Amino acid sequence: MQRLTALFSAALLATGLMATTAHAQQSQDSAQDPMATQQAPAQDFSDNELQQFADASKEIAVISQEYTERLQAAEGEQEQQEVRSEANDKMIEIVEDSGLDVDTFNAIGQTIQQNPEMMQRVQEMAEQS
């Protein structure tokens, strides 16, 4: 669940699409998983990695919105878990197709949360692509 939370968080922050429902779900997941709130050490990422992150984040934002709606419509914990799992798999596929691995994607996402200048840079990259 840590991967899902980090992916949702990074994608939504990078694209500026922090939806209330997704945020509430993330908060619930983070509360259940103390490892999800770990802070990443400051890292330097190449322009290529940041562009890959920006591109993947845009796709993930669309997926996260779709799956947030499906999660809200899901009835029961079992169905919600299936939706989360499917969303997680889809987002991992998007990240890997972008040329990044999930750990690097998450590290960039955590870094931009702590670095407003890098966040601005990634947002500009996302707008230009």
What is the length of the chain? 129
Residue 74's Cα: distance from chain center in Å?
21
Q: Tell me the pLDDT tens digit for each residue of 79-110.
A: 999 999 999 999 999 999 999 999 999 999 99
CB count in 10 Å sphere of residue 116: 9
Confidence of residue 128 (pLDDT cuts 50, 70, 90): confident
Q: What is the pTM of this model?
A: 0.68
Q: Tell me the pLDDT tens digit for each residue of 7-48.
A: 555 554 444 433 322 333 344 444 444 444 444 445 689 999
CA-to-CA separations, 46 to 50, 52, 68, in angstroms, rounded: 6, 10, 31
Q: Please report the pLDDT score of residue 44 as a whole number.
A: 84
